[in-house]
Chain A
């Protein structure tokens, strides 16, 4: 059994990162030219890491499955990026950002990592502005901020509803500069299918050229996995269609631990499923909960009439509406954290009060906000007594200025006008806090294999706060990994190029080819999507928003059976040596089938409710989540023992020396 060493530096929390940087080894510029680094994934974490490593002088080979690094799914992040700049003078500080993140994660993350994240957050904004990222500004020319998800300060920097896009394009242009200089060799439309270890160290990857189908060997002195999260194990999620766990999972199967796999974030405000044809779900930004009120009908017969199309939401009188978040959580109301809001929606729908044809939706209503803003506007414009319809008109304009692009997106998809009738929303899988276990240096349990961004488990505990994913991806890629990787690579200055003719490469390549052959030659009767949808349903029903022992045990058995059926009966069309998207999908779904089982196993083992993980056995009489700090204040780190013997659990105890563990209460 391998040993878990978190390598957290000694010393006071606020000095750890500085001390660590002062004490780790460096590689001099002449020697950096002798060292190759592979970066897999080109989102915020991978893109920023690739660019920075190349600027430092390493030879970088970067891989993405899309046709350009600019298309990685970081591009879809809407709301913003947190940074402890305290530009608003509202009392923000590195410590507060650290504290909010630890608490928001329900005390299941490492203090030292989170503090470092908060510490480098301010630098990210400086770096992005220097690169030309057009953040929102005030008339005085300085940067604007907004408030996000339940925290008490305004620390979120944004670029309209496209912050992720602008940050990714910043990292992408930094990459482009290094591609132009020849310091990054970019492999577009390439997918990593396995990792190659030599003498126990990560020394290369096997990748498939997605255009020609050719299997390629690539060597390096270190490998960085920055391939994002695994939300698509649920089939329906807000992830991109191609988002997958394959790179991380292959690394796991070759010895890297996978940590907290069951920690999944279900985002409360997504557009509900409309039918079986649905291929993905669309997020409606959390910022909408600042002004929208969430409700369902208070009477079951009204809910039923709405589902049958006999009543419209606007027909339900004010006193017959149940604003259940305001009722249950008067202190925070509609702005409770994501996990709490999601569970409350599910509770109402399960009890029979859901709307939409499927019964799986609640209303997000802007009519009060429209009237409130309209009245304010009427007063500021000195319009005196005006009619209700005029007030409404004024209010709509204010709401449009704030959320116009989101309202338009909703209307395009649902074909209803959210200014006139409430939006329908339902929770959807959005982000995965779990991922490859890494130490303080972001190295996995395979020496020389690093993991950055959503692909690692490190900073968000059991629940991620809004606007923190972008922060973590860029912190890892720009400011953490480029330092820490030098400490490892200092041993490799005399190694010289790694030959891809070594038997280790040949062996892994053969294993990759065998698997692809098996998939393509199977010629079964069901398509890849058929199996993916079945897997998604098991995961959503039994490893989703609420989990219990019986359901999890059933899920494990059902996934095993489905996996067996998949390998016997999957139908993959086409050939190996051509552009074949179905073959790509098949490999990814095969890996999801294994990951799903580990997620259920992890959820079963953790018999407490924390953050996004809710065990029905661990709740208060009012149905609130109950954490068990005396038993479960650890990171669950799973080791793969081989196909026959499954996974074994290692525990990394979490020591809280700077914050006191408290029960989160929003009542």
Chain B
């Protein structure tokens, strides 16, 4: 199939960007979306143009690196997948496809479609862990029995890949789904309960400092999340936050 692409080009963080039109021909429907981008880039390089920068790595939907906003949807027009799992059979011959980077104040553009997501790193460093050192003498794993339902729920929250689609999708650029997934995972497990108050307070505090917006419960993040992280995590985080605000000691 033959396609028209309108792609966001931006030289670096400080320069102004714009949409630029490209044509690609003879695209097979078996190709992945990123393989289509590879073909465009090969053509651009040979022509002496600057290829389009985009993030990608594992190309199997788990690393969370790829991050394209396609026709107004994070990771494109399919549910439960990342951009690298999107295939060209979802498009028709003659289509025009708009490709943009994640757009959020806390995700500045590095180049073209590549954004800086280190704000997520700083949120994680503020509390996204259980304070336990490596030791050859931790207690036996089976000394901490965990109800299967709790373990499964914690796992579901833990499958977040940190791609940032939730932020890109949210009209407020809120990172609540991302933060709440980590808060939930650790709050649901007995190992994580010991420091649940300081964790949620610190992570939310850092989230606010990074310039992410607030949650207004539209639920768009849940729809576009490639891993199906549930909105109920945000509700749990709000409860955790409220509880922590009341019981905190200092």
Contact = CB atoms under 8 A, between A and B. Distances in A.
Contact of A241 (B28, B39, B57, B162): B57
Contact of A174 (B65, B129, B139, B159): B129
- Residue from A125, A131, A132, A280 whose CB has the most chain B CB atoms within 10 Å: A132
B41 to A, nearest CB: 8
B134 A48 contact: yes
B151 A137 contact: yes
Interface residues of B, number: 78
Contacts of A85: 141
B57 A141 contact: no
A522 interface: no
Nearest to A212: B12
Interface string B30-45: 1110110011001011
Interface string B57-76: 11111111100000000000
Interface stretch (B109-117, B168-176, B242-250): B109-117
A527 interface: yes
Interface stretch (B1-9, B186-194, B229-237): B186-194
B40 to A, nearest CB: 12
Contact of A579 (B12, B32, B39, B132): B12
Contacts of A130: 130, 132, 138-139, 144, 191
Contacts of A283: 60
Nearest to A523: B48
B126 interface: yes
A55 to B, nearest CB: 5
Interface stretch (A65-73, A148-156, A374-382, A395-403): A65-73
A463 interface: no
A211 interface: yes
Nearest to A65: B57
Interface string B122-135: 00111111111111
A73 B111 contact: no
A140 interface: yes
A66 B57 CA distance: 8
B147 interface: yes
Contact of A137 (B39, B125, B148): B148
A412 B85 contact: yes
A165 B181 CA distance: 15
Given A67-B117, A123-B136, A131-B130, A282 B32 contact: no
A179 interface: yes
Nearest to B26: A277
A129 interface: yes
A122 to B, nearest CB: 8
B155 A160 contact: yes
Interface string A227-251: 0000000000010111000000000
Nearest to A169: B158
Given A132-B189, A159-B155, A180-B125, A240 B57 contact: yes
B159 A67 contact: no
Interface string A497-532: 000000000000000000000000000010101000
* Interface majority SS (helix, strand, loop, mixed), chain B: loop
- Residue from A67, A162, A169, A579 whose CB has the most chain B CB atoms within 10 Å: A67
Contacts of A582: 45, 51
B83 interface: no
Nearest to B37: A279
A573 B50 contact: yes
A73 B142 contact: no
Contacts of A643: none
Contact of B46 (A70, A132, A571): A571
A279 B125 CA distance: 34
Contacts of B45: 527, 571, 573, 582
Given A130-B191, A131-B132, A529 B151 contact: no
A578 B148 contact: no
A120 B137 CA distance: 11
A75 interface: yes
Interface of B: 11-12, 28, 30-32, 34-35, 38-39, 42, 44-46, 48-51, 53, 55-65, 81, 85, 87, 89, 110-111, 114, 116-118, 120-121, 124-136, 138-142, 144-148, 151-152, 154-155, 158-159, 161-162, 185-186, 189, 191-192
15 contacts: A68-B118, A123-B138, A127-B134, A127-B135, A132-B129, A143-B141, A166-B155, A173-B128, A176-B124, A211-B110, A241-B56, A415-B89, A479-B134, A574-B51, A582-B51
